[in-house]
Amino acid sequence: MKTNINLRYVIVLAVTAALGGLLFGFDVAIITGAGPFLLEHFKLNDLSLGWAFSSLLFGCVLGSMAAGRLTDFYGRKKLLLTVAALFAVTSLGTGAAPTFAAFVAARFIGGLAVGGVSIVSPMYVAEVSPPSLRGRLGALYQMSIVTGILVSYAINYSLRAAGPANWRWMFITGVIPAVFFFAMLLSVPETPRYLFMAGQEQQARAILERIAGRESAEFEASEIRASLSTKRRAWRDLLRPGIRQAVWVGFGLAILVHVSGINTIIDYAPAVLKSAGWKIDAALFSTLIIGFTNFAFTLVSFWAIDRYGRKPLYIVGSLGMTAALFVLMSAVLMSRFQGATVLVCILAYLAFFAACIGPVFWTLVPEIFPNDLRGTAMTVPVLTQWVANAAVVLFFPLAFNQLGKAITFGFLAMMALAQAIFAWMFVPETKNKPLEEVEEYWKRVAVSGLWTGTRKGASIP
């Protein structure tokens, strides 16, 4: 089969959809620098501070629940346009909030947009990407997230001395990337797989031809048509053989990606560093170093994800995170939790996550589900990871300050180790595999009753 990939066109489509991650990263991390000022402005305790940080994430739970089904009915592009508009409105609302209750409400509604984009953006990228490029293009979404985090850190630091309303301007600046994302979306088409689902085959084939040429389009169209021959999209279909195994893997990965601590580092880095003796200005400046590290090692993932595959990266990244967290726990127990030691451990943890876990999670999850149920099935891992994320972020200040640093870091380290074991035992390798071939793999697993080959590489033949 002759494939003539229109690389420029594919990159435009993938980059545009991946920009949703920029808003994701910005909204999740902008509160990192605003947190110390919110603490003072609203006179918050440990639990209310956790609620200020996690209210967005609880909104994400609801947003991800709704988006999975809505995207199968209304399409990927329409949902992305909707969440872009919602990002802009809630950025203004959060910055202008007159009371803590209004602030929490605006953050919660903003979470609807973040939850929606966390499903639809990676789904769009997966559905327009040729198999040979899907890993690197999928990593664009994670790159976009870390770019949003870095931008938010830079804004936090630049506005740190802008007066008592500085935290308001931090949130209001989110309008700019939201408007840019909305404008970019207007120029891209719907995904071919959704168009086939909607009965618009002519438009779908035209996009497939533009992506990879006529011969490749003919082959992929027949594959998509076959995979959609039975359009069953009910929730109960997630339990059918060949689907429930994939749902189980997505569910497990979604819990572990957050209970291993990434958002405690992203959100609470200034608080952790202040507890290690850093002044507020130095702690906020350190977030720039953290942001650059996150960005730089996400670039490494572009080189590694299609070279080494999803499964090996997940195992190596999880073990590296485990080591960094155990060193932090040891530093507390040895009374050396101070200065550069803490920052170096945080940077090492982030390097392993950014190069291995973050890009692989958002690339792998949409890859493992079948075409006719991808929107609905994606709801399970995305909803799960938002619930896990919200719970960890809500209770981290309480655990860190009441249970103690050593217990907190020890728990996170054990979860990172559990993530490595889970990936080794259950995650299949999807590198360079068409989405329809991945679907056939799960059917074989269901028929055999075994996780065929998962403990020895889990490649899909």
Q: 77: which 2 tokens?
A: 């592009």
> Does residue 90 come out as left (phi exceeding 0), alpha (psi in the -120 to 50 range) or beta?
alpha
Q: 425: which 2 tokens?
A: 């035992």
Average pLDDT estimate for 185-202: 92
Q: What is the pTM of this model?
A: 0.76
Q: State the virtual CA torsion across 411, 413, 416, 418 in degrees, nearest 10.
A: -60
Helix (H, G, I), strand (E, B) or coil at 120: helix
In the DSSP assignment, the letter for residue 368 is T
Q: Which residue has the higher pLDDT, 150 or 376?
A: 150
Q: How far apart are CA 210 and CA 215, in angstroms?
A: 11
Query: Please, which pLDDT band fits residue 26 given cuts at 50, 70 and 90?
Result: very high
Q: How far apart are CA 53 and CA 50, in angstroms?
A: 5
Query: Please, which pLDDT band fits residue 413 given cuts at 50, 70 and 90?
Result: very high
Render 263-287 in DSSP notation, one character per residue: HHHHHHHHHHHHHTT--HHHHHHHH
Helix (H, G, I), strand (E, B) or coil at 356: helix
Q: How far apart are CA 391 and CA 397, in angstroms?
A: 11
In the DSSP assignment, the letter for residue 156 is H
Q: How far apart are CA 186 and CA 430, in angstroms?
A: 31
* DSSP β-bridge partners for residue 459: 429
The highest-confidence range among 86-100, 350-364, 365-379, 425-439, by mean pLDDT, is 86-100
How far is CA 264 from its chain centroid? 15
Q: 241: which 2 tokens?
A: 């053989």
CB-based contacts of 374, cutoff 8 Å, min separation 6? 72, 123, 127, 193, 366
In the DSSP assignment, the letter for residue 260 is T
Q: Which of these, 214, 194, 222, lies nearest to 374 by C-alpha position?
A: 194
pLDDT (0 to 100) of residue 120: 92
Q: Is the pLDDT of residue 311 over 50?
A: yes
Instruction: Report how far apart, in Å, the C-alpha atoms of 29 and of each of 47, 172, 371 are.
Output: 19, 14, 32
Average pLDDT estimate for 443-460: 57
Domain ranges, ordered by start, for the chain: 7-188+230-456
Instruction: Report how far apart, in Å, the C-alpha atoms of 222 and of each of 27, 54, 131, 135, 395 are.
Output: 40, 44, 16, 23, 49
Q: 214: which 2 tokens?
A: 């006529």
Percent of the chain topping pLDDT 90: 41
Q: Which residue has the higher pLDDT, 351 or 36?
A: 351
Average pLDDT estimate for 93-106: 95
pLDDT (0 to 100) of residue 231: 53
Write out pLDDT tens, residues 252-298. 999 999 999 898 887 888 888 888 888 878 877 888 898 899 889 98
Q: What share of the chain is helix, strand, coil (3-state, %, to 5)?
A: 80, 0, 20
Topology (CATH) of 7-188+230-456: Growth Hormone; Chain: A; (1.20.1250)
Q: Angle at the Cα of 356 (from 350 to 358), degrees rounded to 5?
A: 70
pLDDT (0 to 100) of residue 33: 86
Instruction: Report how far apart, in Å, the C-alpha atoms of 302 and of each of 137, 204, 310, 330, 450 are.
Output: 8, 28, 12, 33, 32
Phi, psi at residue 255, to the nearest 5°? -70, -50
Give the least confident one: 175-184, 307-316, 448-457: 448-457
The Cβ-side half-sphere exposure at 147, using a 13 Å CA radius, reads 15
Across the chain, what does the average pLDDT equal?
86
Q: How far apart are CA 28 and CA 266, in angstroms?
A: 8
